[in-house]
Amino acid sequence: MRFPIQAISAKDIEFNYFGNGDYQAVNIAGLSESDRQSITFYRGDNLEELCEIEAGILLVEQELEGKIENCKSSAIVFCDHPKYQWIKIIAANYSNGYEDDSTFETKDETIRISKDAYIESNVIIGSFSQIYPKVCLYKDTIIGKSCEIQSGSVIGGIGLGDVWYKGKYHKLVHLGRVIIENNVSIGTNVSVLKGMLEETIIGEGTKIGNNVNIGHNVVIGKNCYISSGVTIGGACIIEDNCWLAVGASLNDHIHMKKNSKIGTGSVLIRDTLENGFYLGNPARKISDRID
């Protein structure tokens, strides 16, 4: 996703640059979503890959200065820790917080919402959904039809996402959303974090038990079964019909292929194959899934 920012040029950034220093970027984006109006960053040293990136302003490592001749980006800025410089620009335009006087109003009489729920602005709740006491729904969250969210669960909370720079952590402002599709059930004390710049998505028909943590940018497919005490690290992809047993954990950026299962207490540190049953720490495939 791309988010509007106050216009910025390479000349506005206090580092040397290559290309059109007057060209102004008007939005900020991750690398995969960048375009000629965006400012983004690249932390590698593959010059061929770097020169194919299309951005308005591309932040790169200082040691690449003098090594670039042609590129598709309008301007390249050579800076100390590109990601840190990028999150500084986000922080200059956006912040995370909470609303003191949040209220939710709907004319849909099929929606049942506890008076003790906390719901911020720009939240959408579909027909026949139930929101229990002490649920928190932060801004820009989308809840589908016939969903159930039980007490103590927080949807759209802000994850860590900090960047280490010069001896301390610096916060990355989270701008993404949470989208919960139709017929999803969420138990008590579940945390679903909003995306950094992308969306956290829970697919239709998925069931989530109590005390589950779902990190930012996670995408969960349809009809998954996530048992109590599961922890899912950031940016994981869980395809349709997967089953995560009690207390299972997924490292960041894990991809569970459809119909795969991870057993009780297992720790998944590598992607799975379709229809596999994985068990242990670290989890290994022990059989095909037969249930």
Average pLDDT over residues 115-139: 96
CATH number of the domain encompassing residue 58: 3.40.1390.10
Burial (0-12, 13-18, 19+ Cβ within 10 Å), 171: middle
Q: Which of residues 235, 264, 280 is at a domain's end?
A: 235
Average pLDDT over residues 206-210: 98
Do the strands 168-170 and 163-165 form a parallel or antiparallel pair, or are they unpaired? antiparallel
> Model confidence at 106, in pLDDT bands (50, 70, 90)?
confident
Considering the domain architecture, whether residues 215 and 173 belong to the same structural domain is answered as yes
Considering the domain architecture, whether residues 126 and 189 belong to the same structural domain is answered as yes
How much is the pLDDT for 105?
85
Average pLDDT over residues 272-288: 96
Could you identify the residue written with the tokens 């005490």? 229
Statement: residue 226 has pLDDT above 80? yes
> Model confidence at 141, in pLDDT bands (50, 70, 90)?
very high
How much is the pLDDT for 161?
85
How much is the pLDDT for 69?
83
42-70: pLDDT as tens digits: 988 899 999 999 999 999 999 999 998 88
Identify any residues that bridge with 256 across adjacent strands, giving them in sequence order: 238
How much is the pLDDT for 1?
87
Positive or negative CA dihedral for 193, 197, 198, 199? positive
Q: Is residue 274 part of a domain?
A: no
Average pLDDT over residues 136-154: 97
Considering the domain architecture, whether residues 116 and 89 belong to the same structural domain is answered as no
Considering the domain architecture, whether residues 23 and 128 belong to the same structural domain is answered as no
Task: Report the distance separating Cα 124 and Cα 126, nearest Å.
Answer: 7
How much is the pLDDT for 27?
96
Considering the domain architecture, whether residues 88 and 193 belong to the same structural domain is answered as no
Q: Is residue 278 part of a domain?
A: no
Considering the domain architecture, whether residues 126 and 222 belong to the same structural domain is answered as yes
Do the strands 283-288 and 276-280 form a parallel or antiparallel pair, or are they unpaired? antiparallel
Considering the domain architecture, whether residues 124 and 207 belong to the same structural domain is answered as yes
Dihedral angle over CA of 61, 67, 71, 74, nearest 10: 60
> Model confidence at 101, in pLDDT bands (50, 70, 90)?
confident
SS (H, E, C) the chain: CEEEEEEEEHHHCCCCEEECCCCEEEEEECHHHCCCCEEEECCCCCHHHHHCCCCCEEEEEHHHCCCCCCCCCCEEEEECCHHHHHHHHHHHHCCCCCCCCCCCCCCCCCCEECCCCEECCCCEECCCCEECCCCEECCCCEECCCCEECCCCEEEECCCCCEEECCEEECCCCCCEEEECCCCEECCCCEEECCCCCEEEECCCCEECCCCEECCCCEECCCCEECCCCEECCCCEECCCCEECCCCEECCCCEECCCCEECCCCEECCCCCCCEEEEECCEEEEEECCC
Q: Is residue 246 part of a domain?
A: no
Statement: residue 130 has pLDDT above 90? yes
Domain containing 27 equals 2-93
Considering the domain architecture, whether residues 15 and 70 belong to the same structural domain is answered as yes
Q: Is residue 260 part of a domain?
A: no
Q: Is residue 105 part of a domain?
A: no
How much is the pLDDT for 50?
92
How much is the pLDDT for 82?
95
Statement: residue 291 has pLDDT above 80? no
Do the beta carbons of residue 142 and residue 122 sit within 8 Å? Answer: no
Do the strands 199-202 and 130-131 form a parallel or antiparallel pair, or are they unpaired? unpaired
10-37: pLDDT as tens digits: 999 989 999 999 999 999 999 889 999 9
As a whole number, the mean pLDDT across the chain is: 95
Could you identify the residue written with the tokens 């945390």? 191
Q: Is residue 271 part of a domain?
A: no
Active site residue 174: no
Q: Which of residues 235, 261, 283 is at a domain's end?
A: 235
Considering the domain architecture, whether residues 43 and 119 belong to the same structural domain is answered as no
The total number of structural domains in the chain stands at 2
Largest CA distance in the chain: 64
How much is the pLDDT for 147?
98
Considering the domain architecture, whether residues 134 and 218 belong to the same structural domain is answered as yes
Q: How far is CA 94 from CA 12, 26, 35, 254, in A?
A: 18, 14, 20, 29
Considering the domain architecture, whether residues 48 and 153 belong to the same structural domain is answered as no
Active-site choice (170, 174, 216, 255): 216
Task: Report the distance separating Cα 281 and Cα 269, nearest Å.
Answer: 9
Considering the domain architecture, whether residues 150 and 186 belong to the same structural domain is answered as yes
Could you identify the residue written with the tokens 């829970």? 202
CATH number of the domain encompassing residue 123: 2.160.10.10
Average pLDDT over residues 147-172: 95
User: Among 33, 59, 6, which Cα is nearest to 195's?
Assistant: 33
Q: Is residue 266 part of a domain?
A: no
> Model confidence at 103, in pLDDT bands (50, 70, 90)?
confident
> Model confidence at 290, in pLDDT bands (50, 70, 90)?
confident
Statement: residue 102 has pLDDT above 80? no
Q: Which of residues 35, 63, 93 is at a domain's end?
A: 93
Task: Report the distance separating Cα 71 and Cα 38, nearest Å.
Answer: 15
